[in-house]
Amino acid sequence: MSALHLLVDGPVAELRLDNPSKLNALTVPMLEALDAHCAALERDATVRAVILTAEGDRAFCAGADITAWSELPPAEFARHWVRDGHRIFDRLARLSKPTVAAISGHAFGGGLELASACDLRVIAPTATLSLPEAGVGIVPGWSGTQRLARLLPEPVIKEMAVFGRRISAERALALGYVAEIADDPRAAARAIAEATLGASPRAAEVAKYMIHAAAGEDRAAMVEALGSGMIAASADKAEGVAAFRAKRKPQFPGN
């Protein structure tokens, strides 16, 4: 059984990392579960927002479990471990629903990359952020030098990835990486998520697509999603489908 669970209770769903004895380090089954849960969330119209949480207060996520990747051949490490993880994190980032990460403890490496795939983040006062991969001879592989570069200034990412420095909760707030510091990040994340329930779900979804297109988060897909949504509601689309089914030439009204 995977140590990453999906809990749906009303309109706010929770993705929960649940392996505190190993600092919620990410394994292959956890990545596969995240992939499957994101697919389920996209199909569940009753879910309006998602929070990402973790059991324990020592670490939100210490990154990737070193035993899961350390013995992989170089080609398999690059082709599967890195690319599969990147694809799954991208799937979380591109969920149509608002997402909030509750950083209850330290977020290192893949854990920081996981939190960065959410729309907003809240953090515990004593939690810290880091990219410690160089300390074990590797580099960030799940968007730590890419998506994170849109969320933090370049020198700050170099502090973490090159110089091995940790970023405090206070500094993360000052940099705009987190929305707030909270003694109970899970409760704070849920409150933020629940605040979206009074807004139009479709408007929130489209706003997220527009922002992602501007920021470069899968820009091509976001632009086509926006255009396709607009054309799908047109009379021209209805006429085109009707003409195809009737095997006649369409008469497009132009609206």
Helices (H), the chain: 28-43, 66-69, 74-76, 83-93, 110-116, 154-161, 169-174, 185-195, 201-215, 219-232, 235-246
Closest CA to 85 of 69, 62, 67: 69
Tell me if residue 113 is catalytic: yes
Burial of 61 (C-beta count, 10 Å sphere; 0-12/13-18/19+): buried
Using DSSP's 3-state secondary structure scheme, residue 186 falls into helix
Tell me if residue 217 is catalytic: no
Q: Distance from CA of residue 104 to its chain's centroid?
A: 16
* From 42, 55, 76, 113, active-site residue: 113
Asked if 206 and 229 count as a contact pair (C-beta separation under 8 A), the reply is: yes
* From 14, 133, 159, 217, active-site residue: 133
* Token couple for 187: 């409760």
Q: Catalytic site residues?
A: 113, 133
